[in-house]
Amino acid sequence: MARPLYSMEIDDERDIVAARRKARDASAALGFSTQDQTRISTSVLEAARTVLSAGPRARADFLLDDAMYPPRFVVRFLAGAGAGERLRAMKSDASQAALGLLAAQRLMDQCAIADDPDGGTSISLAKALPESVSLDANAAQSIAATLTRQNTEDSTAELARQNRELIGALADLRERQEELTRLTRELEDTNRGVVALYAELDARADHLRRADESKSRFLSNMSHEFRTPLSSIRALSKLLLERIDGDLTEEQEKQVRFIRKAAEDLSETVDDLLDLAKIEAGKIEVRAAEFEVDTLFSALRGMLRPLTPGNAVELIFESCEGLPPIRTDEAKVAQVLRNFVSNALKFTERGEVRVSAHYDEARRLITFSVKDTGIGIAPEHQQVVFEEFGQVENRLQQYVKGTGLGLPLCRKLCKLLGGDVSLESEAGRGSTFNATIPAFYGVSEAEHAAAHGEAVPAVLLVASNPIERLDCEAALRQSPYRTISAATLDEASRALSRTPPAALLLAVRPAPSEAWIWLAALRAQAATRNIPVVVLGEPEDRDEAQALGAAAFVQKPVSGGELAGVLDMVSGRMNGALRGDGTTS
């Protein structure tokens, strides 16, 4: 129901100014903000001028429409017969009246032209009341009485007030424009700084890459050089212990055994160094073959049992019943598990070391776990143990020997087999080392295409979480894409410099701010600007991904069919725009 507040005739310019004054008074009484009061009064002024230009006489009705929610303040202008055609003609031309009507449409919630049954035409302006305003019949009557009272202020004063409002609005607009200009310059400076920073990081990464290659060559060469004298020491100590050249005293035998043990320990270290160097140089091969996990565990059980420290620690291999035969490099899997078990036995004083395997049929991944009841590793030290020569100080350090190469080697071997390692540990409560790898290391669809000389699109996967990388790699294993994985943004930058991919998968968690800066830098560089980026993240990451020009957004967890489908869409459309449903437009 629409409650009438006030009506007035509009015959000339003075009435137009009066209508503006009444609109401002009514909006103030209805609780509108100062800014909305100016919008409403300006809209009424423009609509009144337009109606008067379409016919000789018009009427303005000020109404309160509480039939809708929220209630609305309505100003309806009634023009005489024949004004409708003239109003519609004005609406489509470039006259001042048309521009005024357009301004009213933008400033109000509603601005509509309608034909009345009596042949006249009306223009209705409506604005929803503020939520905090609650009006009853008495309040409406009070507002109506306020509007009915004659205002002694002349038109000149009202025009002066209008000019002051206009000047204030222009000053506010100028201030906002200056602020926008300042922010734009600041953003440009920031973007230039980010680009410069990444250029510097690329240069440093290239320097580190060359240093890493030099280190690998040094390790490889030195490992070979060490092997010859070590083999001689082991062979000569064996001859001495077998009494080939005569008897030894008890003390001499003890000393020779120390020499032999030291040479064997050093040989193991040299072997680990050589394996690391070969992996980094890409000169180690994967010899995949089918085997039973139970057979592997049986061989390891006999090999590792002599390492258990008396009866204080029990080495347990869980049953492998129900596990299918797997196809991968058995020797490398055995090497990883030997390192895991050996490490667990060193730092477990009592309790057990338990070796198990779990097969995930959906993802076709197998996870080997070595769980101990040892001293455990604090959260802040868990990453250190996977770094080369990294060791954590503890109370057992003086009783056990190690170089800090075993666990880094395990990680590199697992990556070579298409998987990764992870660690769950708590200081004083033991540790669980996991090696997750594809159960069937074989020729994928992409590798088959590459072997036959077909072009295979590469997809760069950037994810710090190893399990997340495995999930995505498993999802794309049967797709026509070749996956290149990177655990850090630095690794991803190096990979981009070597092989520009057809698309890039970016997991922005757990460090979204770093990922967004990196993505912005990609968009700022000509060499990487056109690489379509698919962002993997949480729902709250979608808007940021869109703002930074991601080609698509995929909400985690990721399904195999979804990921391949999204890549199919974006890989051929380098400048796709993100839609609300996460696909390209």
Take residue 561 and report the two structure tokens written for it. Answer: 């069919």
pLDDT the model gives residue 392: 59
Spatial separation of the C-alpha atoms in residues 554 and 506, rounded to whole Å: 10
Q: Tokens 């091969």 sit at which residue?
A: 285
Instruction: Select from 492, 558, 560 the least CA-distant residue to 531.
Output: 492
- Which strand (E) or helix (H) includes residue 45? helix 34-54
Cβ-contact 374, 348 below 8 angstroms: yes
Dihedral in degrees, nearest 10, Cα atoms 333, 338, 343, 348: 120
pLDDT per residue over 239-289, tens digit each? 888 887 778 888 888 888 888 877 776 776 666 666 666 666 666 778 888
CB atoms < 10 A from the CB of 296, how many? 21
Q: Tokens 């258990």 sit at which residue?
A: 308
Handedness of CA 512, 513, 518, 523 (dihedral sign): positive
In Å, how far are 253, 432, 441, 477 from 364, measured between CA atoms? 53, 22, 10, 10
Cβ-contact 553, 534 below 8 angstroms: yes
Residue 62's DSSP bridge partners are 6, 75
**Mean pLDDT of the 170-187 span:** 81
Instruction: Select from 343, 341, 353, 366 the least CA-distant residue to 291.
Output: 366
Residue type present at position 58: A
Contacts of 76 (CB under 8 A, 6+ apart): 60, 61, 63, 122, 123, 124, 125
Domains of the chain by residue range: 2-152, 289-438, 455-571
Binned at pLDDT 50, 70 and 90, residue 358 comes out as: very high
Spatial separation of the C-alpha atoms in residues 542 and 581, rounded to whole Å: 10
- Quickly name the fold that domain 289-438 has: Heat Shock Protein 90 (3.30.565)
Q: Is the pLDDT of residue 572 over 80?
A: no
Query: How would CATH label the architecture of 455-571?
Result: 3-Layer(aba) Sandwich (3.40)
pLDDT the model gives residue 62: 93
CB atoms < 10 A from the CB of 300, how many? 18
String of DSSP letters for 508-550: --S-HHHHHHHHHHHHHSTTTTTS-EEEEE-GGGHHHHHHTT-
DSSP state of 429: T
Residue scoring higher pLDDT (270 or 420)? 420
- Average pLDDT of the chain to the nearest whole number: 78
Q: Is the pLDDT of residue 400 over 70?
A: no
Query: Do the first three CATH levels of 2-152 and 455-571 match, i.e. the same topology?
Result: no
pTM attached to this predicted model: 0.42
**Mean pLDDT of the 420-433 span:** 87
pLDDT per residue over 465-514, tens digit each? 877 787 788 778 777 787 888 888 888 888 887 778 889 999 988 778 88
- Quickly name the fold that domain 2-152 has: Heat Shock Protein 90 (3.30.565)
What are the backbone dihedrals phi and psi of residue 32, each rounded to the nearest 5 degrees, phi first?
A: -70, 155
